[in-house]
Amino acid sequence: MKKLIPLFLASSMLPIVAQVKPVKIAQAKATSAAKGYPAAMAVDGKITDQSRWVSDKSDKAPAIEMQLAEKQTLAGIHFYSGFGSKDAVAGFTVQFFDGQKWVTIPAAVVSKNNNVALSIAFDATVTVTTDRLKVIIDDSKDGMARVKEIVVWPSGKGDLPPIAVAKGGHGAAKAIPQVPLIYLNQSGFNIGKPKRFTAPTLDDGTAFVVRPASGGDAVHRGVIQNKIGDFSAFNPISDIEYVVQAGEHVSVPFRIGHFWLERVSYQNAVNFMIDSRHHVGNDRHVCGGSFGWRDDHHFGWELHTLVPQYLSNPSAYHRMPSQVRYEKPKNPKLWGALEPYREEAPDIVKLIHWGADVIVTQKLKHEMLKSQLAYFLYAWPVLSAYLPEQNFQVVSEYAFSTWTDPKKDRNYPYDESPEHNLLALKKKLGSTKGCLPPGFSVQPNLMMHEVAKRLGRSDADQYLDAAKTQVEWMIKHIDWNNPQTTKGQRMSEFLAMTGMAHFLQEYPNDAPRGLQEKIEQWADVVIRRSDNLWDFRKLDDKEGWTPMGDSPQKWNEPGNVIGLPSAILAALPSIKSESKQQRLRQIIWSHFDQMFGRNPSGLHFSYDAPREVEGVEYGWYKFHVGGIGRLAEARFVIDGSCKNAHYPYHPEVGDIGWTEGWIQFNCCFNISLAYLAKDETKFNLKRQGREVLIQLHAPLNFDEKSVEKATIMVTDGSGKEVALELTEDSINARTFSRKISMPASGKLQVRHGFGYLATTKSL
């Protein structure tokens, strides 16, 4: 349950906002009204307990309809309800009349609300052009509507004006605490990785120290340069908290530990994917434009990211507690084409099964949804331990039979695809919505090539050829200096670089000429645009920090911020310069740190982070109530990020722009965790007489107070592969080891993970 009030409570009058005036309401009528509280009081400009609409006790379905003075396009509403700071309307639905019928606005379906003042921007899935609005009360105390005021705002004026702020006393909201002016990762840092902070108010040359949070002498010293302090060389093996002190400022306390980011993130990442499922998640409402996950549309990228997570670090997911249980469908048209998984399957495998099941059951034919099936099929050799063979047969038959079909099965909101043949060359560059990113078909085609080879299909090469043709086109026609090809794709940017890097690293002999250079050029742009006090990759080389737009929905950008590490990590093996690699690693970690508080607001991107993420003190300004995704009660929702006006350093602008969690944002974080695991996993093999010491270095130390286990695969000279369990070398270690007898063949190969994200070593 949400524990804090996400928006400021109402004062007695509407806020005065320059150049933005509410829409004029000509008339209001209600299904009923208690004596002295008519419908007209809900639109009279007064936010008081004395001037409100209250429905009659006998009214079992209270509603209020507003006739606007003229027909116009609307941006959203402010909705004030309850009595004082209590008895808020818990559930309501906003509809508009389109000239023929009443249409529900997806973003304005609210449930489980306990806030007496709400700001609700209308979602871009539907353009609300009308002269009539209706609010239907679905859930309220004693079944009675108590509405103080409904303020309607016109479109085309930018963000919705701020909610009215109380002037103290009864109903006043708590202000966000002053965040310390040393901005860093509130939770902590990984041993051996970059550790940097931003001090925008301090002069260059100011000395800083790192010391125990409980007090004591400095354990590390440094000097601030370009508003940045760097204490990357400080790598204590300790279980205490530290702070940075510079001038009169002291940071929030933080930890430093082995794989700290992974430790506080892995379970949270899976928790969100469990809760946000459509039909079977923590909210069972039917959501428009949603398939496997709520509000995913056709570009949720769930299997694009869940599968890499599992392939890169399977041992971590095998150890997690089981939360997911198979549910039989009430409507077999929604899911159920795939036979159920084994109950002992890891939750991440159950989630992968769910995503594929929805696509094949509903016979979804959008090219991006079909492309998700390539990840399922590619991972089958490791998924097959938990899934019946029938699953592979059904998915492969559907994928291969529809892969080249240019037609879609239905209309999809935000669909920018000209057609849906995944072997076709994709020349269109999508909008900033992120629904048609360049190169999205490259990696799926490479995977289908491998699947077709395993099956002995004669058409296997056509998938490799299609990927190559697409990459050749990108080398010639994509200009990384154009922001629309990179950050302009927002949360979908990672697909271009992960696909191109996959091709170069897995098929170097088939890679198109110029691919290596194209990847390096991309990295050069990233480095150039990250030269600022936040180490933050900007939108362009001028004043653009993040994508902007003229409506409240444009643009919330956390997905791009936390997805960038995956793209950089994918590109790193192709970067020849050691100095560039070092700088790129700083940028990788600065973007993880952005999510955790190293940003102009000083807040973690998740509103609930203080109670869900170890060590975080300050979460995002608010969370979104309602919306298509209905994520208010889901765990680990990535709610918002800093907007262009916050940069380079303007914390005073506060809570501006759009805030709403989205499945796509969390998937970006997931794919970055996947590529980070690949980057951090290494083997050491050492012969000791007739034995071999196998040592695995991987992000698996999640419990610093116990000895943990990891499982790898071992292949001898005959080709036989067996699982082998390793043991952590000590409590709170970075490595897992075991000695085995050297095979008679004298040959040995070890593997952790699978496919293009596996780490292997031979002896």
pLDDT averaged over every residue in the chain: 93
- For residues 152 and 23, the answer to whether their CB atoms sit within 8 Å is yes
Is the confidence at residue 9, as pLDDT, over 60? no
In a domain, residue 12? The reply is: no
Sheet holding 220-223, edge to edge: 220-223, 207-212, 242-246, 249-250
Judgement on whether residues 586 and 705 belong to the same structural domain of the protein = no
Is the confidence at residue 15, as pLDDT, over 50? no
Nearest Cα neighbor of 260 from 563, 702, 608 is 702
- What is the CA 237 to chain-centroid distance, rounded? 31
What is the structure's pLDDT at 17? 41
Task: State which amino acid sits at residue 464.
Answer: L
What is the structure's pLDDT at 4? 34
Each residue's pLDDT tens digit, 330-355: 999 999 999 999 999 999 999 999 99
Confidence of residue 85 (pLDDT cuts 50, 70, 90): confident
The arithmetic mean of pLDDT across residues 231-247, rounded, is: 97
Token representation of residue 711? 């499982």
Is the confidence at residue 649, as pLDDT, over 70? yes
Residue 648: is the preceding peptide bond cis (ω within 30°)? yes
Token representation of residue 318? 């095998």
- For residues 678 and 661, the answer to whether their CB atoms sit within 8 Å is no
Nearest Cα neighbor of 697 from 710, 713, 688, 687 is 710
Is the confidence at residue 454, as pLDDT, over 70? yes
Judgement on whether residues 347 and 464 belong to the same structural domain of the protein = yes
What is the structure's pLDDT at 253? 98
Judgement on whether residues 272 and 409 belong to the same structural domain of the protein = yes
Judging by DSSP bridges, how do beta strands 91-97 and 102-110 pair with one another? Answer: antiparallel
Judgement on whether residues 314 and 424 belong to the same structural domain of the protein = yes
Confidence of residue 748 (pLDDT cuts 50, 70, 90): very high
CA distance 212 to 522: 40
Q: Which residues contact 587 (CB under 8 A, 6 or more apart)?
A: 526, 527, 530, 535, 537, 564, 568
Judgement on whether residues 426 and 467 belong to the same structural domain of the protein = yes
Within the chain, how many helices (H) and strands (E) appear?
Answer: 15, 23
In a domain, residue 4? The reply is: no
Token representation of residue 656? 């501006």
Judging by DSSP bridges, how do beta strands 255-257 and 188-190 pair with one another? Answer: parallel
The arithmetic mean of pLDDT across residues 630-635, rounded, is: 94
Total domains present in the chain: 4
Judgement on whether residues 504 and 564 belong to the same structural domain of the protein = yes
Confidence of residue 112 (pLDDT cuts 50, 70, 90): confident
Confidence of residue 121 (pLDDT cuts 50, 70, 90): confident
Give 34-39 contacts, CB < 8 A, sequence gap 24+: 34/144, 39/64
- For residues 725 and 738, the answer to whether their CB atoms sit within 8 Å is yes
Any idea what the CATH number is for the domain that residue 510 is in?
1.50.10
Is the confidence at residue 582, as pLDDT, over 90? yes
Each residue's pLDDT tens digit, 248-301: 999 999 999 999 999 999 999 999 999 999 999 999 999 999 999 999 999 999
What is the structure's pLDDT at 625? 86
DSSP 510-526: TPPTTHHHHHHHHHHHH
Judgement on whether residues 97 and 208 belong to the same structural domain of the protein = no
In a domain, residue 161? The reply is: no
CA distance 207 to 255: 21
Is the confidence at residue 124, as pLDDT, over 70? no
- Considering 154, 177, 212, which residue would you say is the last residue of a domain? 154
Q: Which residues contact 443 (CB under 8 A, 6 or more apart)?
A: 304, 374, 467, 495, 498, 499, 502
Any idea what the CATH number is for the domain that residue 253 is in?
2.60.40.10
Each residue's pLDDT tens digit, 481-499: 999 999 999 999 999 999 9
Confidence of residue 5 (pLDDT cuts 50, 70, 90): very low
Token representation of residue 412? 């999809």
- Alpha-helix residue ranges (DSSP H) falling in 386-514: 389-402, 442-454, 460-477, 494-506
What is the structure's pLDDT at 127? 87
In a domain, residue 9? The reply is: no
Confidence of residue 718 (pLDDT cuts 50, 70, 90): confident
The arithmetic mean of pLDDT across residues 436-459, rounded, is: 99
What is the structure's pLDDT at 157? 60
What is the structure's pLDDT at 164? 65
Judgement on whether residues 287 and 199 belong to the same structural domain of the protein = no
What is the structure's pLDDT at 109? 86
Each residue's pLDDT tens digit, 132-155: 999 999 999 989 999 999 999 998
What is the structure's pLDDT at 1? 35
Judgement on whether residues 578 and 659 belong to the same structural domain of the protein = yes
What percent of the chain clears pLDDT 90, i.e. is strictly above it?
Answer: 84
Token pair 């963000």 in the structure block, residue: 159
What is the structure's pLDDT at 177? 57
Any idea what the CATH number is for the domain that residue 690 is in?
2.60.40
What is the structure's pLDDT at 744? 85
What is the structure's pLDDT at 273? 98
What is the structure's pLDDT at 161? 76
Is the confidence at residue 16, as pLDDT, over 90? no
Give 721-728 contacts, CB < 8 A, sequence gap 24+: 724/694, 724/750, 726/694, 726/696, 728/700, 728/701
Residue 293: is the preceding peptide bond cis (ω within 30°)? no
What percent of the chain clears pLDDT 70, i.e. is strictly above it?
Answer: 94
Q: Higher confidence at residue 347 or residue 654?
A: 347
What's the pTM value of the predicted model, to 2 decimals? 0.84
- Considering 661, 677, 693, which residue would you say is the last residue of a domain? 677
At residue 708's C-alpha, the angle toward residues 703 and 714, to 5°, is: 140
In a domain, residue 598? The reply is: yes
Is the confidence at residue 551, as pLDDT, over 70? no
Q: Higher confidence at residue 123 or residue 564?
A: 564
Each residue's pLDDT tens digit, 413-424: 999 999 999 999
Is the confidence at residue 185, as pLDDT, over 50? yes
- Partnered with residue 146 across adjacent β-strands are 54
Judgement on whether residues 102 and 211 belong to the same structural domain of the protein = no
Each residue's pLDDT tens digit, 53-71: 999 999 999 999 999 999 9
Q: Would you call 76 helix, strand, or coil by DSSP?
A: strand
Q: Would you call 506 helix, strand, or coil by DSSP?
A: helix
Confidence of residue 405 (pLDDT cuts 50, 70, 90): very high
In a domain, residue 20? The reply is: no
Each residue's pLDDT tens digit, 198-238: 999 999 999 999 999 999 999 999 999 999 999 999 999 99
In a domain, residue 159? The reply is: no
- For residues 89 and 147, the answer to whether their CB atoms sit within 8 Å is yes
Judgement on whether residues 201 and 241 belong to the same structural domain of the protein = yes
CA distance 726 to 95: 59
Judgement on whether residues 131 and 244 belong to the same structural domain of the protein = no
Is the confidence at residue 666, as pLDDT, over 90? yes
Q: Domain span at residue 251? A: 188-257
- Considering 615, 642, 677, which residue would you say is the last residue of a domain? 677
In a domain, residue 160? The reply is: no
